[in-house]
Amino acid sequence: MDRAPESPFVAVVTGASSGIGAATARRLAREPGAALVLIARRQAQLDSLADELGGATVIAADLTDADAPARIAEVVEREYGALHLLVNNAGAAWRARFADGGWENVRRHMELNFDAPVRLTEALLPLLRRTAAGAQPQRDGPRVAIVNVSSTSARVSRANSGGYTASKFALAGWSDSLHLEEQSYGIHVGLVLPGFVATEGFPQAELVGRAATRWIVSRPELVAEAILDAGPGGRSERYVPRAYWLAAAARILMPGVVRRATRGGGLMTPTASE
């Protein structure tokens, strides 16, 4: 981003208390004029991160609460009156076969991983549009952006993770439609699709303990860079690691092969945390 320090760049990051969200907040804080709004359930972790960054607006909220989107929108409007970047990162995964977890497992995933970012975006969209309308055109990217953090599971499903996969598929599909609808208002919508990422709660020991699989586990800092590419950078979507796009392409070109390759289930990755 190429913005003068006196020109605030207001960014909202959900799931900011750890993992990808915290890494994204740290990365954005290095940008000139960045004003951050950090959202997660855990107040203490948010306060600690805000202190580390030299200040930020902190909102402790459960995004599945009915009043959370309106409360967040009111704070951003009151304190900044503008919003340049919304990073919908908060999410979680609870592994279960459908026969065991049933609809409740699917509902739980959809509530946090899909419904919550949709509801928050709805609450903040008027402010995003007003900001885009009044912003100066940028030479190096869009004036205003939304980044939805999905998962490679949005392209390639796995056994024992149907609820998670469904929520991430929904988020990816909605992101494409939202971009088409909002681009005329000056709002870009980008999508980030991480694979295995070493975050809090991710059972990484099994993968990082073996040389053959260690390379597929990425770091939150790399996802944070991808979020900047897909937001202020104007990219449509980014896989992390980049080579994961091959799995998505294989799913389209060779679906039977991919089904056979993934039928054993195995580990999955929470792409975000709260």
Kindly state whether residue 91 falls inside one of the protein's structural domains. yes
Q: Which domain holds residue 123?
A: 9-262
- Mind listing the pLDDT tens digit for each residue in 62-100? 999 999 999 999 999 999 999 999 999 999 989 999 999
Kindly state whether residue 168 falls inside one of the protein's structural domains. yes
Kindly state whether residue 273 falls inside one of the protein's structural domains. no
- Mind listing the pLDDT tens digit for each residue in 242-253? 887 788 888 788
Residue numbers annotated as active site: 164
In this predicted model, which residue has the larger pLDDT, 91 or 205? 91
Q: How many domains does the chain have?
A: 1
Q: Give the pLDDT confidence score for residue 257 in this predicted structure.
A: 82
Cβ distance 86 to 112 under 8 Å?
A: no
- Mind listing the pLDDT tens digit for each residue in 156-170? 888 888 999 999 999
Q: Give the pLDDT confidence score for residue 247 in this predicted structure.
A: 80
Kindly state whether residue 22 falls inside one of the protein's structural domains. yes
Write out 72-129 in H/E/C secondary structure.
HHHHHHHHCCCCCEEEECCCCCCCECHHHHHHHHHHHHHHHHHHHHHHHHHHHHHHHH
The average pLDDT across 102-131 equals 97
CA–CA separation, 178 vs 231, rounded Å?
A: 14
Kindly state whether residue 178 falls inside one of the protein's structural domains. yes
Cβ distance 31 to 11 under 8 Å?
A: no
Task: Quote the percentage of the chain above a pLDDT of 90.
Answer: 68
Statement: residue 268 has pLDDT above 90: no
Q: Give the pLDDT confidence score for residue 201 in this predicted structure.
A: 54
Kindly state whether residue 243 falls inside one of the protein's structural domains. yes
Q: Give the pLDDT confidence score for residue 141 in this predicted structure.
A: 67
CA–CA separation, 30 vs 58, rounded Å?
A: 18
Kindly state whether residue 269 falls inside one of the protein's structural domains. no
Kindly state whether residue 232 falls inside one of the protein's structural domains. yes
The reported pTM is 0.88
> What CATH number does residue 187 fall under?
3.40.50.720
